[in-house]
Amino acid sequence: MKRILILVCLCAAMVFSASTIYANPEAYHVGCAFAVTGKASWLGEPERNTVEMIAKQINDNGGINGHPLVLHIEDTQGDNTRAVNAVKKLIKKDKVCAIIGTSRSGTSMAAIPVATQSEIPMISCASAAVITTPVEQRKWIFKVGPDDSDAARNIFEHMNAHDINKIGILTGTTGFGAAGREQLKEIAGEYGIEIIADETYNPTDTDMTAQLISIRKTGAQAVINWSIVPAQSIVSQNMQQLKLTIPLYQSHGFANIKYAEAAGDSAEGCIFPAGRIMAVDTLSDDHPQKAPLTEYKKAYESTYNEHVSTFGGHAYDALWILVNALKKVGDDPAKLRDELENTTFVGVGGIFEYSEKDHCGLDKDDFALLTVKDGKFVVLKD
Amino acid sequence: MNHTDGAFVDVLQFLIMGIQRGSIYAMVAMGFNMIYNATGIINFAQGEFVVLGGLMMVTLTMAYNLSIVFAFILTVLFLIIAGILMERLTINPVKQPTVLRLIIITIAVSIIIKGAAMVFWGKGSHYMRHFSGTESLDFYGARILPQTLWIFAILFFVVVAYILFFNYTMTGKCMRACAINRDAARLAGINDRKMVMLSFALSAGIGAIAGIIITPIIQMDYARGAMLGLKGFGAAVLGGLGNSMGAVVAGVLLGILEAMGAGYISSHYMDAIALVILLFVLFIRPSGIFGSSEAMRLKEF
Amino acid sequence: MKGKNSAGFLALIIGIIATPFLVTNDYYLGVLIFAAFNSLACIGLCLLMGYAGQISIGHGAFVAIGAYTSGILTAKLAWSPWLAMLCGILLVIVIAFCLGIPALRLKGHYLAMATLGFASIVHIVVVAAVDLTGGPSGIVNIPRLDLFGYVLNSDRQYFYFSWGVVALGIYIAFNLINSRMGRGLQAIHGSEDAAASLGINITSYKVQVFMLSAVFASVSGSLYAYYVNYIDPGPFDVGHSVLLVTMVAVGGLHNIWGALIGAIFLSLLPEFLSFLSEYLEAFGIEYQPDFDTLIYGSILLIIMLFLPEGIFKGITGSMGSVVSSVKKSLGRTAGREQ
């Protein structure tokens, strides 16, 4: 019995000694909760890298109105329980004024009640529409990931222009894929497009031949592959293997040049909506996003020696939006929240226009349709 | 092409896909069985051997530009050493081995290997070129990748080598003796501890081969081990634990079931279909299709 | 309950009452609340594994069924959370009964595979049955639990409630162990044939304890759903089932207290690791969270290599030997002085 008590005391002691309070009262404390390791680390890692890079840049230039920016970065491992703990730790222990993250839709949904109850603004880097709707229940929650429905609309418009009206969809069984599947089925009718095959695959799946054959059997005129996991690059390879030559559309989850590299020449010609960061070199100079995109791409690629990705771009937008608000109103969470609602920001993901009614701030024009040409992402011409 | 032809081509395509999936399950299951026969435990790090094999091969061929054959041999050797290290460091020192304890140890090792692979190879997916091109071949209307043919051939080669080793070499016979009755084998002068080490070496080697041949098709990342291990475990149990030839048949069967299920029933429930069948087989034949209840009795949990 | 166990139980109650006074930060309380959910599931699993000798790598599925029954009935049909939790309990009793009858005839690794297979099937269904479970998007707006019309809003209230349930679970477990059924179970664990020859109905006993342990898991799932207010398939995958078994084994298989300690230890470990990185950075050592997985695995390995009976026996055993050696040396010096 004593032993248990001793153990409890020991645990408590360790916990207490860890709760160091940061000495600099002037600093602005911002919390970041990303899936740096675990099943969604391809999201969390570029996000973490990006915010660290920007924070260094800001502090090297004298901070925010003289206040240094202190980032507290927690790893959610893409796990809901860890995300709840991480966000709680940031709010209760590190006393941050706002939170950036989390990376996945699922972890964001799990963390939303915590942020809402503590009345701390949270800018999610995930994209599911439910994160910021209904907006009455999401007073404290914003997001920088674009709405899936806007991506879907871009695809459907292109299909309309090319007389494609019977399609098969193939979605991954992650939060991203499931949300996409929902939106595709909901919106297709508006564009007179009929979904005649609806297949899914696991993030751990290694072969989508069976699903593709089922789609082929229905006589679909095109395939939409909607997923964010690395396994999606197998889809185009399987299509090549099966000599299935109907057009392949991908989601904005494909916007990672590594996926195109992995898919090799089978990805050539596939069409997908994405933020303009993916094809910044082919963007015209008078585009308002040209400057921030070029700057971010250059800084990221020279610092980390790896390709820039949309996901890191989400963290870029989230942090800069927050820093701009901090500049104006300081680190009071309630004032920050009100300021965020009035934010307009030209960023990597697009032109954000937050309002009382809209905590996402992007619309379908913030996507561009891209394609893969000679192993590179380029803006689709037609 | 008329309708029946199309249906036939589809069946053929599912079969090819199923056998390809199943070949990997079969090899993972063979690895499970080797260690099971020597120690009576299931090595939860078996899937991690496959991952290590695949990642190592990617590095050797893509970063160091070694030829496939040379890289293949180096990778298998590397994994054999890893297997021996695992046995020496974590299994051999255990003085009072109970099955559950050893299993948790292998779980711990699998977490460590996963963590190490994440640190060394990063979190991204790694891809490597196919052994001989990606231009798929025509097989009665179905499409088959050259790499798939390589997988079939190498599985066949591994099975033949396995049979030869366990039936015609002294070491193989000693290992079989240990598997049947460890105490009796020891009385006959067989160094059973050494056989345990050997079983880890061989099973890591088979894992490496599985990883090497599948990586061009499925790509490889550090976190894939758990799923491969689970499927392989299913195949090993379905075939009757300890029965490697049963495992090969069961593995291929499981792969075909999955492919057919995905093609004809529902891709949403693809993995569940094979598992439900596995459960029913177990409930009807509690020691797998090819397992004997006699052999099971000898290895109480 | 008697002797050491009742003393331990008392200590647990005191610890539960005292902790929120010592630990005032909601973050730590939150971590301990999650530990309570795992503890509850592990106590049930320990009854099955440690006392009846049957392995199950499928209890994550019962946690999922509890959580999803609660989530669906409250968030979609606006039932009372208590009624929903009760439905979850009834549902897992039925499922555990149907699964237990054929599965518990299996032995060792075959039973492990059957339960593991069951866990994956449940996970797949949860992911695929979008209309019922919300699929990977999960279920939102699950209400908080209320107690006599009083909603458990703060972490402190939920801490007391969830750990109260754990204490109740431990009480039930000890009563079971000391009953006729408990002795019967231990006889089964020793030798099924001998137990059968003594007139113990093996199948019935095994299935009953399987059902009971599933109920523990289901309640823990329901509590999880009411606490996080959101569920998706993520936390209920096969890995969670394996984690529960690992917790029980790490703590000590043959003792309820061991299961409790193991569950608390492995629930807190990832959070401790995140502190470790802060400490190291304070000393100027660059530390990447990437190493967490490695350290976690290594700690697990070291425990299993050096504490074969688990942490609980390891601590009590070494303390016992220290105490006895101190006693001995005291006795010697006392003897010399005389």
Whether pLDDT at A122 is above 60: yes
> Could you tell me where the beta strands, DSSP code E, fall in A251-356?
271-274, 344-346, 351-353
Q: C55 in contact with B at a CB cutoff of 8 Å?
A: yes
Choose among B108, B233, B287: nearest Cβ to C297.
Answer: B108
Whether pLDDT at C326 is above 80: no
CB contact under 8 A, C294 and B296: no
Whether A148-274 and A28-146+294-362 are alike in CATH topology: the answer is yes
Residues of C in contact with A174 (CB under 8 A): 136
Residue A224 identity: I
Q: What is the mean pLDDT of residues C3-30?
A: 90
Q: Is the peptide bond before B59 cis (omega within 30 degrees of 0)?
A: no
Choose among B219, B259, B267: nearest Cβ to A262.
Answer: B219
Choose among B10, B214, B223: nearest Cβ to A217.
Answer: B10
Per-domain boundaries in chain B:
16-132+144-298
Specify the higher pLDDT residue, A167 or C291: A167
Q: Note which residues in 307-336 of chain C have CB less than 8 A from chain A.
A: 315-316, 319
Q: What is the mean pLDDT of residues C290-299?
A: 84
Whether A259 contacts A233, CB under 8 Å? yes
| Rounded CA separation A359/A199 (Å) | 32
Choose among C102, C110, C293: nearest Cβ to B114.
Answer: C293
CB contact under 8 A, A264 and B134: yes
Specify the CATH architecture of the domain A28-146+294-362. Answer: 3-Layer(aba) Sandwich (3.40)
Q: Mean pLDDT over all residues of chain A?
A: 88
Whether A210 contacts B17, CB under 8 Å? yes
Residues of A in contact with C136 (CB under 8 A): 106, 173-175, 177-178
pLDDT at site C316: 80
| Rounded CA separation C267/B97 (Å) | 26
Residues of C in contact with A14 (CB under 8 A): 272, 275
Residues of A in contact with B20 (CB under 8 A): 207
Number of Cβ within 10 Å of residue C198's Cβ equals: 9
CB contact under 8 A, C135 and A178: yes
Q: B271 in contact with A at a CB cutoff of 8 Å?
A: yes
Q: Mean pLDDT over all residues of chain C?
A: 88
Residues of C in contact with B111 (CB under 8 A): 293, 296-297, 300
Choose among C106, C111, C296: nearest Cβ to B111.
Answer: C296
Which among A208, A204, A207 is positioned nearest to A223, based on CA atoms?
A208
Q: Give, as one character, the DSSP assignment of residue C143.
A: P
> Hey, is A146 helix, strand or coil?
coil
CB contact under 8 A, C230 and A112: yes
| For B277, nearest residue in chain C (alpha carbons) | C117
Whether pLDDT at A139 is above 70: yes
CB contact under 8 A, B17 and A201: no
Choose among C34, C128, C315: nearest Cβ to A3.
Answer: C315
Q: What is the mean pLDDT of residues A218-231?
A: 89
Residues of B in contact with C49 (CB under 8 A): 100
CB contact under 8 A, A37 and B123: yes
CB contact under 8 A, A206 and B223: no
Residues of C in contact with B101 (CB under 8 A): 249, 304, 308
Choose among C4, C34, C282: nearest Cβ to A85.
Answer: C34
Q: B214 in contact with A at a CB cutoff of 8 Å?
A: yes
The sign of the dihedral angle between the CA atoms of C184, C185, C189, C195 is positive
Whether pLDDT at A136 is above 80: yes
Q: What are phi and psi of C255, to 5 degrees?
A: -150, 130
Q: Is B44 exposed, middle or buried (0-12, 13-18, 19+ CB in 10 A)?
A: buried
pLDDT at site C294: 87
| Rounded CA separation B155/B163 (Å) | 12
Number of Cβ within 10 Å of residue C191's Cβ equals: 11
DSSP result, chain B? --HHHHHHHHHHHHHHHHHHHHHHHHHHHHHHHHHHHHHS---TTHHHHHHHHHHHHHIIIIIS---HHHHHHHHHHHHHHHHHHHIIIIITT-SS--HHHHHHHHHHHHHHHHHHHHHHH-SS-B----TT-S-PEEETTEEE-HHHHHHHHHHHHHHHHHHHHHHHSHHHHHHHHHHH-HHHHHHTT--HHHHHHHHHHHHHHHHHHHHHHHHHHH-B-TT-HHHHHHHHHHHHHHT-TT-HHHHHHHHHHHHHHHHHIIIII-STTHHHHHHHHHHHHHHHSTT-SS--HHHHHHS--
Whether A377 contacts A279, CB under 8 Å? yes
Q: Note which residues in 198-257 of chain C have CB less than 8 A from chain B.
A: 238-239, 242, 245-246, 249-250, 253
CB contact under 8 A, B136 and A230: no
Whether pLDDT at C3 is above 90: no
Whether B136 contacts B13, CB under 8 Å? no
Q: How many residues does chain C have?
A: 338
Q: What is the pLDDT of residues C183-226, one digit of tens each?
A: 888 888 888 888 888 888 888 899 999 999 999 999 999 999 99
Whether pLDDT at C309 is above 60: yes
Whether B219 contacts B125, CB under 8 Å? yes
Quote the minimal CA–CA distance from C290 to chain A in Å.
6
Q: For residue A260, how far is the Cα from the chain centroid? A: 18
Q: What is the pLDDT of residues C65-81, one digit of tens each?
A: 999 999 999 999 999 99
pLDDT at site B3: 45
pLDDT at site C109: 83
Which among C265, C192, C250 is positioned nearest to C38, based on CA atoms?
C265
> According to the CATH classification, is domain A148-274 in 3.40.50.300?
no
Choose among C106, C250, C292: nearest Cβ to B282.
Answer: C106
pLDDT at site A20: 40
Residues of A in contact with B21 (CB under 8 A): 206-207
The secondary structure of B234-275, three-state, reads HHHHHCCCCCHHHHHHHHHHHHHHHHHHHHHHCCCCHHHHHH
Q: What is the mean pLDDT of residues A138-167?
A: 93
Q: C102 in contact with B at a CB cutoff of 8 Å?
A: yes
Provide the pLDDT confidence category of residue C335 given band limits of 50, 70 and 90.
low
pLDDT at site A173: 87
Q: What are phi and psi of B123, to 5 degrees?
A: -100, -10
Residues of A in contact with C24 (CB under 8 A): none
User: What percent of chain C has a predicted confidence (pLDDT) above 90?
Assistant: 53
Q: C113 in contact with B at a CB cutoff of 8 Å?
A: yes
Which chains are within 8 Å of B by 3+ CB pairs?
A, C
Specify the higher pLDDT residue, A206 or C227: C227
Pick the residue of B267, B268, B270, B275 with the most A CBs within 10 A to test the interface with A by mutation. Answer: B267
| For A84, nearest residue in chain C (alpha carbons) | C228
Per-domain boundaries in chain A:
28-146+294-362, 148-274
Q: B10 in contact with A at a CB cutoff of 8 Å?
A: yes
Token pair listed for B22: 């199943």
Q: Which residues contact A124 (CB under 8 A, 6 or more apart)?
A: A101, A102, A108, A131, A132, A141, A142, A143, A144, A145
Whether B200 contacts B35, CB under 8 Å? yes
| Rounded CA separation B79/B91 (Å) | 17
Q: C239 in contact with A at a CB cutoff of 8 Å?
A: no
Whether A155 contacts A273, CB under 8 Å? yes
Quote the minimal CA–CA distance from B141 to chain C in Å.
32
| Rounded CA separation C144/C82 (Å) | 11
Choose among B95, B104, B118: nearest Cβ to C249.
Answer: B104
> Hey, is A62 helix, strand or coil?
coil
Choose among C228, C289, C316: nearest Cβ to A80.
Answer: C228
CB contact under 8 A, B286 and C107: yes
Q: Which residues contact A312 (CB under 8 A, 6 or more apart)?
A: A46, A47, A49, A50, A300
Which among C150, C137, C165 is positioned nearest to C224, based on CA atoms?
C165
Quote the minimal CA–CA distance from C178 to chain B in Å.
25
Number of Cβ within 10 Å of residue B228's Cβ equals: 27
CA dihedral B176, B180, B184, B186 (to 10 degrees): 40
Residue in the structure block whose two tokens are 């996991």: A229
Residues of C in contact with A200 (CB under 8 A): 128
User: What percent of chain C has a predicted confidence (pLDDT) above 70?
Assistant: 96
Count the alpha carbons within 13 Å of A140 in the hemisphere toward its beta carbon: 21
Residues of B in contact with C106 (CB under 8 A): 282-283, 286
Q: What is the mean pLDDT of each run of 10 residues along chain B (301 residues)?
A: 67 91 93 88 92 95 91 96 94 82 89 92 85 86 91 95 91 86 85 90 95 90 87 90 90 92 85 86 83 54 45
Quote the minimal CA–CA distance from A339 to chain B in Å.
37
Quote the minimal CA–CA distance from A171 to chain C in Å.
11
Whether A105 contacts A63, CB under 8 Å? no
Residues of A in contact with B259 (CB under 8 A): 209-210
Token pair listed for A170: 């193939």
pLDDT at site B89: 93
pLDDT at site A23: 45
> Could you tell me where the beta strands, DSSP code E, fall in chain A?
28-34, 69-75, 98-101, 122-124, 141-143, 166-172, 194-201, 222-226, 248-250, 271-274, 344-346, 351-353, 368-373, 376-379
Which chains are within 8 Å of A by 3+ CB pairs?
B, C
Choose among C102, C239, C304: nearest Cβ to B104.
Answer: C304
CB contact under 8 A, B112 and C297: yes
Q: What is the pLDDT of residues C94-124, one digit of tens each?
A: 999 999 999 998 888 889 889 999 999 999 9
| Rounded CA separation A228/A335 (Å) | 35
Q: Is B4 exposed, middle or buried (0-12, 13-18, 19+ CB in 10 A)?
A: exposed
| For B89, nearest residue in chain C (alpha carbons) | C305
Pick the CATH number of B16-132+144-298 from 3.30.1240, 2.60.40, 3.30.70, 1.10.3470: 1.10.3470
Token pair listed for A253: 């989850």
Whether C135 contacts C254, CB under 8 Å? no
